[in-house]
Amino acid sequence: MPILTHLEAIRQGIGEEMERDSSVFLLGEDIGVYGGAFKVTEGMLEKFGAERVIDTPISESAIVGAAVGAALVGMRPVVEMQFMDFIACAFDQIVNMAAKIHYRWGAKVPMVIRGPSGAGVHGGPYHSQSNEMWFVHTPGLKVVVPSTAYDAKGLIKAAIRDDNPVIFYEHKYLYRRVKDEVPLEDYVVPIGQAILRREGTDIAVITYGAMVWTALEAAAQLEKEGISLEVLDLRSLLPYDEEAILASVRKCSKVILLHEDTRIGGMAGELAAVIAEKAFDDLDGPIVRVTAPDTPVPFSPPLEDHFLPNARKLAEAARKLASY
Amino acid sequence: MAAKVIMPQMGESVAEGTIVRWIKKVGERVERDEPLLEISTDKVDAEIPSPAGGTLSRILVKENETVEVNTVLAEIDGEAPDEGAGASVAGPAQPVVSKPAVPEAPPTAEAARRIRSSPLVRRLAKEHQIDLTRVQGTGEAGRISKNDIEAYLASAKAERPAPEGTAPSLPVPPSSAGAPAAFTGPTQRVPMTPMRRQIAERMVTSKRISAHVSTFFEVEMTRVAETLVQAGAEFERRNGIKLTYTPFFVRAAVQALKQFPIVNSSLDGENIIYKRDINIGVAVALETGLIVPVIKRADEKNFLGIARALRDLADRARSKRLSVDDVQEGTFTITNPGIFGSLLGTPIIHQPQVAIMGVGAVEKRPVVRNDAIAIRPMVYLSLSFDHRVLDGALADQFMAHIKVALENWDESVL
């Protein structure tokens, strides 16, 4: 099996879907001639032509609006946000149009909005956000955050085939740092299914995106200290895999919710609520959150390091919870 | 600062206590309220929880030594200030800090009962009918964790406690019956436990003080046995307590004591002290020796109340959870040698009481009824009484009252 980076896996997934289905097309800023700010769509223009790989003006609202219209008439647009931070400009098109059209008029809106999110590359407050919760709180959307190359390809293919609008978060830190074996045969990773990245017995760490790797790093470290972490990768935030979450909680009886997003209103809060509601009698300790603090992402590298959750912070929280 | 662990006052009249065992060793970490040592006083044996969290830095009184109340027993090197000085830390004259949510707790057996656990632990305890006060917590501040309860379940499986069906006052005799561990010569010198010493001293003292006389009655138990058969299952279903003979004897004794207040008295110099309350001590045999918990105001309890009190006291006696109060203020004692098969005994009076009743084994015997030999469940009751206070005539009338009550039992136990 070929070994691909996270970024290459996404590119391969999109390319396969474009070959498989002629209604799939791409639009975004600098995605054609330049190949995209991160080169996800490099080579696409040459391969599929300017009709299917469209360089757009710098207007996220116009791009998403065009995609919604195309989806309504039977196309399957894949929109690139140059940075997921810029998605705010298209907010109305996403939450009031794409998300509500099926509910209101019964029409399908099969579209994907994808792009790089997350911090760790000294991008500052406008190029580093993890703003997935804006959309997790919007019924009518699906929100996906892969952590491995295999999942990135399988999920982008599933997102393109999905008849609902899907917001697809690619962590820019993982683009070229994470590699794994990615099959050439056609496969999808179903949206809404979590996966156990590591089995453990003492504490379930529930996380997603780049933090999956952080959790695995901490787990390897804590194993030497006799603390066994289980790592559950959500992969999809909306819908999320409640069954898998509760199974891990019931098994370990203690749980840490980890994400790079800031604390208040983060995914951890939602998960804490569902765990408290449905697995209260299985808890042997408080539900613990490890998240970024409630500030914008700092530009200064030392401040950004301080801002981001890491293996050390997670291990600290895990030790404390283990001895609780 | 080093927190000091002191010998607690385990009751008003208790002046000294003996260290039975240090649960923690020097250098070991101990959480606040975690059991630190076991002590024995002439009233009760008890586990003493640590007054503070930290490291046990010095043990000042060794095992088997007896010291006065308030003697410093050990020192604990304190930890972070928020765990600070506990309620019973005898520190140098400085304010004692206690968390607002934590009531001031003297280091008695009862004080260790504040249990911290989690929803999961409470659910598991309920499912397995575990008394959480018996589970050793190893979590933060002695919190009982899932691991602790799993360890407890595993060990409970290994040494199954007495089955539910055991009668409240019918303890299983110790298997080794107090034999020394090993002989290194023709004889082996083994120091008495504090409890054994206490019993020895008490028995000799009682024999010296009181003019012991014993009288014996044979009682037919047909009516009681019928009641047991007829109502036993329903009684157990309703109350969760197995119906045994013991509450019948207690109940009959209480009624007789009401009729003969002199038996419910004690002697103080040239004065007889009559007691308003009838508090029945019931002897419970433990592996370590005999203990006599008391059913307080038994005259105010109905049959079920007595049965329940018996069960509770016997359970707590066996789990070493009796408080000082549980073994004080008895006014009359019942002992039950019959459980080990004895036909009748001549028990020694529990000072300062004036009488003690012994109950033999209930068994079927051939007896003469209407000039024919009949088979009846029978029991010998004995009464040892203090002839200084009671004469035989009165003692026998007292026993006759009990005999009549048992033979004509007509009280519904349900």
- On whether both B305 and B371 belong to a single domain, the answer is yes
Residue A151: give its domain's CATH number.
3.40.50.970
pLDDT tens by residue, B237-289:
888 888 999 999 999 999 999 999 999 999 988 899 999 999 999 998 887 77
Pairs of residues, one from chain A and one from chain B, whose beta carbons lie less than 8 Å apart: 27
Beta-carbon separation of B146 and A284 below 8 A: yes
How much is the pTM? Answer: 0.54
Contact between B139 and A281 using a beta-carbon 8 Å cutoff: no
Last residue of a domain, which of B67, B90, B107?
B107
For A53-114, give the DSSP string.
EEE--S-HHHHHHHHHHHHHTT-EEEEEPSSGGGGGGGHHIIIIIITTHHHHH------EEE
Q: How far is A252 from chain B (nearest CA, A)?
A: 10
**Is-contact A284 B121, C-beta < 8 A?**
yes
Query: Do B258 and B281 share a structural domain?
Result: yes
Q: Would A35 be classed as within a structural domain?
A: yes
Above 80 in pLDDT, residue B6?
yes
Q: How far apart, in whole angstroms, are the C-alpha atoms of residue B277 and residue B301?
A: 12
Residue of A nearest to B119 (CA): A281
Distances (CA, A) of B68 to B71, B88, B152, B185, B289: 6, 17, 35, 36, 23
A226–chain B Cβ distance below 8 A for any pair: no
Rounded Cα–Cα distance for residues B74 and B63 (Å): 12
| Residue A54 lies in domain | 3-181
Residue B395 in domain:
yes
Question: Is B387 annotated in the active site?
Answer: yes
| B291 and B386 inside one domain | yes
State the catalytic residues of A: 127
The answer to the question of residue A300 being in a domain is: yes
Q: Which residues is A25 bridged to in the sheet?
A: A77
Same domain? For B224 and B356 the reply is yes
The answer to whether residues B257 and B329 belong to one domain is yes
Same domain? For A21 and A82 the reply is: yes
Residues 6+ positions from B206 with CB-CB distance below 8 Å: B348, B349, B350, B351
- Alpha carbons A103 and A101: distance in angstroms, whole number: 5
Contact A284 B123 (CB under 8 A): no
Exposure of B45 in the CB half-sphere (CA atoms within 13 A): 22
Nearest to B146 among A253, A280, A323 (CB): A253
Range of the domain at B126: 115-160
* A222: CATH: 3.40.50.920
pLDDT of B14 higher than 80: no
Q: Which of B170, B380, B387 is nearest to B286 (CA)?
A: B170
Do residue B232 and residue B146 come from a single domain? no
Rounded mean pLDDT for each run of 10 residues along chain A, 324 residues in total = 95 98 98 96 97 97 98 98 98 98 97 97 95 98 98 98 98 95 95 97 97 97 95 98 97 97 98 97 95 97 96 97 92
Q: Check B119 against A323: CB less than 8 A apart.
A: no
Residue with tokens 């994808």: A114
Q: Which helix (H) or strand (E) holds A166?
A: strand A166-171
Name the token pair of B52: 């503070």
pLDDT at B23 (0 to 100): 87
Quote the number of domains for chain B: 3
Q: Are residues A175 and A201 in the same domain?
A: no
Instruction: Identify whether B148 is part of a domain.
Output: yes
* Catalytic one of B128, B131, B277, B387: B387
Q: Are residues B101 and B138 in the same domain?
A: no
Q: Does residue B250 share a domain with residue B362? A: yes
Is pLDDT larger for residue B62 or for residue B172?
Answer: B62
Choose among A49, A59, A58, A64: nearest CA to A18.
Answer: A49
| Residues B94 and B119 placed together within one structural domain of the fold | no
- Within-domain flag for A190: no
Are residues B123 and B103 part of one domain? no
Q: Please report the pLDDT score of residue B179 as a whole number.
A: 59
Answer yes or no: is B221 within a domain: yes
How close does chain A come to B139, measured CA to CA in Å? 5
% of chain B residues with pLDDT over 70: 84
Note if the bond before A286 is cis, omega within 30 degrees.
no
The arithmetic mean of pLDDT across residues B216-226, rounded, is 94
Nearest CA in chain A to B123: A281
Count of structural domains within chain A: 2
Which alpha helices (H) appear in chain A, and where do they start and end?
A: 6-20, 44-48, 60-72, 91-92, 101-105, 133-136, 149-161, 211-223, 242-252, 267-278, 301-307, 311-322
Residue A253, min C-alpha distance to chain B (Å): 7
What's B12's domain CATH number?
2.40.50.100
